[in-house]
Amino acid sequence: MDLDKKFLGEMLLNKTLWWCLTQEGDGVKFKASPALQEMVGAQIPDYATFLSYLMPESAHLLEYKSREFMTRPEVDERFLVGFKVDDKITWLINKLHLAHQGPGDCRVLYSTCVEVSEMYALEEQLIESHSRLMIEQLRAKEEMAKKEAELLQQQYDDQTQFLAMLSHELRSPLMGMNSLVSVVKKKQQAHEDATDDLKTMRLTIEQLNFLINDILTFAQTEFGSIQLKPTVFELDQLGEYVSHLTKSIASEKGIFVSFAISSRNNCFYGDLVRVSQILVNLIVNAIKFTEIGGVFVEIRELDNELEIQVSDSGVGMDETDLKNIFKPFKQLESDAGPRYVGSGLGLAIVNTLVELMNGRIFVESTKGVGSLFTVNLPMEVKSCPTNDPNVEAGCDTCSELSDSFQCDFDVLIADDSSINQKVLETFLEQLGCRVDKANDGNQAWEKFQQNPYDFVFLDIQMPGMNGAEVCQKIRALPAESKSNLQGVFALTAAHTVNEVEQMGIEIDQSIFDEWVEKPISQDKIIHLLHCKELPATKANLKMLRESDQAESLVADIPEHLQHLVPQLVESTGKEINEVRTSLLEGDEAAIRKILHRMKGNLMLFNIPAVLDIVREMEQMPSYQNRSDVDARLRFLENQLRKLG
């Protein structure tokens, strides 16, 4: 069916949106479609009315676009205008057209329109939403930048405070040491006793060593270069070692540190140095904030882990303090007297090391009552190594032992520092070693080829050949050329492989028998060289029976524990009887368990003369020789009578 053209034309004219301007001579005629008038909501009889309904900016735009299009009709011109009648706004997209009609070739400018009010409203909403989002994002970025700035400022303030503290903590003891050196020198010239001054100097050195170790460990954790070096270690020796390190600081402050070890086994596989560092930092922190009373340390063996608890009777902490204690450079205010190792790094290092060992740490504290730190470290039980009866198992944890041990060895020291040479030479000669020295790697290599040495200490960074190169040459020699050689040790101030690499030296640490970090102690030398204990320090029962040591035994017991001596005598006497009973029954496992318990108590009371006998009995391979065991038990009873 064909559509009627007239009908179709009328429908398009009435139902579509359009307007037109017809120019006839000097006059202009305007017409708007019924549909457009209906949509706008008003009659539009002429061009002036049409313009009046347009929004001001739309009216200006329409006249401008119309004039431009009349001169350049080839341009495809589309633009948006808005009509506002009362409160109603209608938005139309206009497309201009130019036509010619009539006998006078009059021009007709007309526009077809598309109503986009809903689209325009949606676009406005989108723009508004986007604007709000942009503003919110800018505000969030501004807030984040503000927080970052505050954090950076806080970190800067903390580190500035830390550097100021560090300067004070390092400078003050060094100045004091300088003054004490002068005092000791004058007393020596006047033949006066300088023992107290030397003790003060040693305490100062220990405090500096704690501080430097904390700084080095923190630097290693910051650069991710800290590494665990697990070995088999004995739990009771760990307790002795930590007790020795912290004893002087506690004594100086007039408080006690008590140890208790409860474990079915004595040997574990872990990083002894890092476990010791955790313990020392926790104990030093407890000492720092304790004015009256003391610090109690308990180490227990649980299922596949060690539990360390350090409690104190100090000032305690509130909730605010607890949130910040593991942050580096943070120091809680102490009302407990002078600060000792106040780096603000101790607990941060503890937390880092515990995490490195896949452990856990918990803190309980009450303001004005005290604090309890609990650390759980996964730890594998190992069999204790068989010890030579002539070698003291824990000699590397003792101090001032040059009169008790002897090392009859030929030793070569290679170090370009005359001070380091002198210290190491003094330690070795006090132990009975014969010492030869080299000032660089080349000289060390020449000396080694000419003389048969038992042990060699090589500084890593030396002129000529470095320590690693000398060691490689020694290892490359045939066995018959180094038949006396028992060990080659690296001496270094570097604590990590990264620090060594920064020297420009590539090192395979496995070529050395031991990697020894400076400063080296005489205790460490005794351990490295397996020095033999002199008979005078062993359990020479006859000599000990003849000497009355009651006064020295009591003097060794911490003052705060001396009132408990009667209870110690009573409980130890009962344990001696239990040993005798188990001896008759042939129950060696029970004997070792009782001796282990006795050893823990004696460690707490610091009675080395008696402790050595108990430790030696515990390490005996067998208790078949009953007369020997009974003789030792009688000696223990004699010592207890002297205490009682």
**Is the domain of 275 the same as that of 359?**
yes
CATH number for the domain spanning 244: value is: 3.30.565.10
The letter for the amino acid at 564 is L
Q: Is residue 369 part of a domain?
A: yes
Mark whether 343 and 444 lie in a shared domain: no
**Number of folded domains that form the chain:** 4
Domain, as residue range, for 268: 231-381
- Phi and psi at residue 508, to the nearest 5°: -100, 105
Which element (helix H / strand E) includes 200? helix 195-222
Three-class SS state of 369: coil
Answer with the one of 70, 93, 121 that is the final residue of a domain. Answer: 121
Of the candidates 600, 598, 599, 595, the residue with the CA atom closest to the CA atom of residue 623:
595
The domain that holds 638 is classified in CATH as 1.20.120
In a domain? residue 175: no
Question: Could you tell me what percentage of the chain is helix, strand and coil, using 3-state DSSP and rounding each to the nearest 5?
Answer: 55, 20, 25
CA atoms within 13 A on the CB side of 625: 8
Q: Give the CATH number of the domain where residue 24 resides.
A: 3.30.450.20
| 486 and 347 share one domain | no
- Indicate whether 2 belongs to any domain: no
CATH number of the domain residue 519 falls in:
3.40.50.2300
pLDDT tens per residue across span 496-534: 555 566 555 667 778 888 888 776 777 778 878 876 555
Do 415 and 487 reside in the same domain of the chain? yes
In a domain? residue 351: yes
Residue holding tokens 């010239």? Answer: 189
Residue 116: inside a domain: yes
pTM above 0.85, yes or no: no
In a domain, 180, yes or no: no
Strand-strand pairing, 305-312 and 267-270 = unpaired
Cβ 228 vs Cβ 274: under 8 Å: yes
Q: Is the peptide bond before 103 cis (omega within 30 degrees of 0)?
A: no
CB proximity list for 559: less than 8 A, separation 6 or greater: 256
Q: What is the pLDDT of residue 549?
A: 46
* SS3 letters across 319-356: HHHHHHCCCCCCCCCCCCCCCCCCCCCHHHHHHHHHHH
Residue 312 contacts residue 283 (beta carbons within 8 Å): no
Residues 470 and 562 in one domain: no
Characterize 472-486 residue by residue with b for buried, 16 or more Cβ atoms within 10 angstroms of its Cβ, and e for exposed.
Answer: eebeeeeeeebeebe
- How far apart CA 48 and CA 56 sit, in angstroms, is 13
Question: What residues pair up with 89 in beta bridges, in sequence order?
Answer: 84
Residue-wise pLDDT tens digits, 43-93: 888 888 999 989 999 999 999 998 888 888 887 878 999 988 888 888 899
* Residue where a domain terminates, one of 360, 381, 402: 381
Q: For residue 326, what are the CA distances in angstroms to 146, 371, 475?
A: 24, 14, 46
Q: Are residues 342 and 258 in the same domain?
A: yes
Selection from 255, 246, 254 nearest residue 276 by Cα: 246
3-state secondary structure at position 440? coil
> Are 435 and 373 members of one domain?
no
Pair of tokens at residue 567: 């209870």
Pair of tokens at residue 1: 């069916």
pLDDT at 473: 93
Among 93, 121, 149, which residue terminates a domain?
121
Q: Tell me which residues of the chain have a pLDDT lower than 50.
A: 1, 334-341, 387-402, 535-551
Number of Cβ within 10 Å of residue 463's Cβ equals 11
Residues 421 and 512 in one domain: yes
Residue 177 inside a domain? The answer is: no
Kindly tell me the burial class for residue 113, based on how many C-beta atoms sit within 10 Å of its own C-beta (0-12, 13-18, 19 or more).
buried
Which parts of 503-546 are beta strand (E)? 514-517, 532-533
Q: Is the torsion defined by CA of 414, 416, 418, 424 positive or negative? A: negative
CB contact at 8 A, 82 and 62: no
Residues 568 and 516 both lie in one domain: no
Q: What is the pLDDT at residue 436?
A: 94
**Within a domain: 290:** yes
Among 131, 139, 208, CA closest to 169: 208
- In this prediction, residue 537 carries a pLDDT of 38
3-class DSSP state of 260: strand
Does the CA dihedral 174-175-178-182 come out positive or negative? negative
Question: Whose CA is closest to 409, among 470, 471, 485, 474?
Answer: 485
Same domain (yes/no): 487, 598: no
Q: What is the dihedral of CA 273, 275, 281, 284, to 10 degrees?
A: -90
Nearest to 522 by CA among 392, 433, 428, 419: 428
Can you read off the two tokens belonging to residue 269? 């596989």
- Clarify whether residues 254 and 361 are in a common domain: yes
- Looking at the fold, whether 561 and 471 belong to one and the same domain comes out as no
Q: How would you list the strands of the sheet with 267-270, edge to edge?
A: 231-234, 267-270, 380-381
Cα 409 from chain centroid?
41
Going across the sheet that includes 514-517, the strands are 434-438, 410-414, 455-459, 487-492, 514-517
